[in-house]
Amino acid sequence: MNIALIAHDNKKELMVDLCIAYKTILQKHTLYSTGTTASFISEGAGLPVYSVSPGVLGGTQQIAARVSLNEIDMVVFLRDPVEGRSNEAEMYSLLRLCDMNNVPFATNIATAEMLIKGLERGDLQWREHVR
């Protein structure tokens, strides 16, 4: 499975913690991430990650393009709901594309954990048939 991992600045450490906690599951899959988050995951959790541009330089749009082509099977976007963002439109565009392509999308740690546990159980194998 191809998994996109994105995190706002205040959530990058939480993303690393998530990746450490579920490293044995995530290492069996192909991970994609925006620039800075990819560095955090690679260095902090020791997982290989394909890096796209940083989010502010179009990285979220690059992930969205892969979603639109059904190249991504799951998205975890740990966002900071308190802090205002200039790139909210990009996040909603990504969410819309995930909805259109039936790509599971988590925006918080609780949902991310549910998706990863489902991934481990094989609950997302139907995505293989979509691609």
Structural domains in the chain plus CATH codes: 2-130 (3.40.50.1380)
- What separation in angstroms does the CA of 110 have from each of 15, 65, 90, 117? 12, 26, 22, 11
CB distance 19 to 26 below 8 Å = yes
Conformation bin of residue 122: beta by default, left when phi > 0, alpha when psi is -120 to 50: left
* Strand ranges for the chain from DSSP E: 2-7, 30-33, 50-51, 74-78, 105-106
pLDDT at 84: 59
The 10s digit of each residue's pLDDT in 76-110 is 999 888 875 666 788 889 999 999 999 999 999 99
Distance CA 120, CA 59 (A): 27
